[in-house]
Structure formats: structure tokens, C-alpha cells
């Protein structure tokens, strides 16, 4: 169902209002506003709103923003604000699919590189596109990109070395 995630957010907001949980209400309203903003932009560009995949992207971006803010507050010694950012992160994470571990991400990246027969850094885009279609919202794609880049760089270096050796043998 297209609006399943938004419905879960709306239901959570109603429950938070009933419970009088101000922090939770504020965070859920921020989520709703971000989704509405993206939906308005999509409609202005001729698209038919946003689906759960886009909502997941919004949530992931909100979590990254809070991670950065928490780090900045921590380095500035504002521990009360660090805690606030962490609480908001946890509220937002409730609506994301279960995230894969680092080892699982690395393994899936390796499998994808092999599946699409990627050879070198020029194939990073193809790999990332495939990962995003196969595992939407289930992994940190920034981290996955680093793994893919590392794998393709290593393969590319090995490829160049062997191809240079082959050329030297021929010449």
C-alpha cells in the first residue's frame, strides 16, 4: 500500500498527542512537514506525489542530519542537545526498515558487483542503482558506496596490472 508508512506516522502522532509526549509530537510533525514539502515539489514537477521509498529517503536524511548535529553539539560540550538529537534519531528510526549490518552490506555489495559484472570505478553508478532497487531503505547507501568503490578500485588495480603484464608478454 502506497501510503502505509505515512499512515503509521499519522497514527504514531495521534498516540503521542494522547500521551502528551511533546518531543515525540514535535519530531513526528517534522517528519510530516518534510514529506509534505517533498510531495509539493514532486507535484510541481508533474509527478504524482511521493511513495514509501521517497519517505524512507527523507527519514534517512533526517537521521544523518541529526547525527551531524549531535557530533557538533558534543564537540561544543552541549550534552543536553546531543541527547535531544539522539532521541529524535530513535523516533525517526522506528519508521525505517530493519537496517543491515556492515558485514551484510559488504556481502550484498560483493554479490551485486559480481551479478552485474562490474569492472572498475566507472561501474559504481550501476552498482549503486542496483543496490538501491534491491534493498530500498535497508542499508546505509553512503557506506555501501564506499564498499563498492573499494571493491572496484581493488579489482581495477588488479585488472590493470594483469592487462599490462599481458601486453608486455605480447610485445
Nearest to 95 by CA among 159, 167, 3, 164: 3
Q: How far apart are CA 7 and CA 2, in angstroms?
A: 10
**CATH number assigned to the domain covering 102-170:** 1.10.10
Cβ–Cβ < 8 Å for 144, 106: no
Residue 2 vs residues 6, 7, 14, 48, 52: alpha-carbon distances, Å: 9, 10, 20, 12, 6
Give the model's pLDDT for residue 130: 93
Cβ–Cβ < 8 Å for 50, 35: yes
pLDDT above 70: residue 71: yes
What confidence tens digit (pLDDT) does each residue in 12-68 have?
A: 999 999 999 999 999 999 999 999 999 999 999 888 888 888 898 899 899 999 999
Domain ranges in the chain are 4-93, 102-170
Average pLDDT in the chain = 87
Give the model's pLDDT for residue 157: 61
What confidence tens digit (pLDDT) does each residue in 133-171 have?
A: 898 878 888 889 999 999 988 876 654 433 344 444 444
Which CATH number is 4-93's, of 3.40.50.1970, 3.40.50.10470, 1.10.1510.10, 1.20.1250.20?
Answer: 1.10.1510.10
Q: How many CB atoms lie within 10 A of CB 65?
A: 14
Amino acid at each position: 500500500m502506497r501510503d502505509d508508512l505515512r499512515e503509521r506516522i499519522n497514527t504514531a502522532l495521534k498516540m503521542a498527542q494522547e500521551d502528551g509526549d511533546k518531543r515525540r509530537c514535535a519530531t513526528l510533525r517534522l517528519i510530516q512537514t518534510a514529506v509534505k514539502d517533498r510531495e509539493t515539489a514532486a507535484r510541481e514537477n508533474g509527478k504524482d506525489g511521493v511513495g514509501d521509498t521517497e519517505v524512507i529517503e527523507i527519514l534517512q536524511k533526517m537521521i544523518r542530519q541529526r547525527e551531524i548535529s549531535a557530533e557538533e553539539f558534543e564537540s561544543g560540550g552541549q550534552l543536553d542537545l546531543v541527547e535531544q538529537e539522539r532521541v529524535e534519531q530513535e523516533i525517526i528510526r522506528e519508521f525505517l526498515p530493519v537496517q543491515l549490518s556492515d558485514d551484510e552490506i559488504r556481502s550484498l555489495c560483493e554479490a551485486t558487483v559480481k551479478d552485474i559484472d562490474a569492472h572498475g570505478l566507472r561501474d559504481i553508478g550501476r552498482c549503486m542503482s542496483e543496490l538501491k532497487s534491491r534493498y530500498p531503505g535497508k542499508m546505509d547507501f553512503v557506506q555501501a558506496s564506499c564498499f563498492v568503490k573499494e571493491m572496484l578500485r581493488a579489482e581495477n588495480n588488479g585488472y590493470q596490472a594483469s592487462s599490462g603484464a599481458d601486453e608486455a608478454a605480447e610485445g
